Amino acid sequence: MKRRALAFELPSKRTCESKSIPQGEILTDLKDKKWKLGPAIGIGGFGEIYLASDDLSKPVAQKSDYVVKVEPFMSGPLFVEIHVYAKIGKKDIINQYILGRRLKSLGMPHFLGCGSHYYNNERYRFIVLPKYGIDLQTVFLNSGKRFSVKTAFTLATYVIDVLEYIHSNGYVHADIKASNLVLDKENRTPVYLLDYGLSCKFYDDIGNHKKLESDQRKAHNGTLVFTSRDAHFGAHSRRGDLEVLGYNLIQWITGSLPWEGNTDAEAVADCKNNMMSNLNAFIDECFTSKNMIPPEALVQYLKYVNKLKFKSKPDYQYCRNLFKRAVRDAGYTFNGDLSLNVQWLQVPRKRYRCISDRENNDKDKNPKVCAIPANPRKPCAVRNYNARLTRKSTHSTVQFDWPKILAGHPEKPTAVLSMYDVPQDLCTNNGISTDSTDSANSDALYTRGLDNPTPQMRLILEKEKQKEKVNIVNNNCVTYPTKLLRSKKGLLISVSAECEKINNIKEKIKKESKLKKK
So which residues are the catalytic ones?
175
Give the three-class secondary structure for 74.
coil
Task: Give the Å distances, CA to CA, from 298 to 139, 223, 279.
Answer: 22, 21, 11
- To the question of whether residue 69 is assigned a binding role by annotation, the answer is yes
Q: Is the peptide bond before 190 cis (omega within 30 degrees of 0)?
A: yes
Distance CA 48, CA 427 (A): 89
Is residue 101 classed as helix, strand or coil in its secondary structure? helix
Q: Residue 107 contacts by C-beta under 8 Å, 6 or more apart in sequence?
A: 158, 159, 161, 162, 181, 190, 191, 192, 193
Number of Cα atoms under 13 Å in the Cβ half of residue 184: 12
- Note the Cα 448 to chain centre separation in Å: 63
Are the C-beta atoms of residues 132 and 109 closer than 8 Å to each other? yes
Eight-state DSSP code of residue 477: S
Using N-to-C axis directions, what is the helix angle for 279-286 and 296-307, rounded to 10°? 140
How many beta carbons lie within 10 A of that of residue 272, not counting itself?
A: 21
Buried b / exposed e along 135-148 (16+ C-beta atoms within 10 A):
bbeebbeebeeebb
Question: How many helices, marked H, and strands, marked E, lie in the chain?
Answer: 15, 12
Alpha-carbon gap, residue 341 to 184, rounded angstroms:
17
- In sequence order, what DSSP letters do the residues of 204-215 get, joined into one string? -TTSPBPPS---
Bridge partners (DSSP) of residue 128 are 68, 113
Q: What angle do CA 134, 138, 143 make, to 5 degrees?
A: 120
d(CA 268, CA 263): 8
What is the DSSP pairing of strand 483-486 with strand 492-495?
antiparallel
Residue type, 13: K
On whether the CB atoms of residues 44 and 70 are closer than 8 A, the answer is: no
Cα–Cα distance, 365 to 359 (Å, whole number): 10
Calculate ∠ Cα 216-221-225, nearest 5°.
130
Q: Which residues, in sequence order, are CB contacts of 218 under 8 Å at separation 6+?
A: 200, 231, 234, 235, 236
Which one, of 449, 445, 440, 513, lies nearest residue 487 by Cα?
449
Q: What angle do CA 358, 359, 364 make, to 5 degrees?
A: 105
Binding residues for ATP: 69
Binding residues: 69
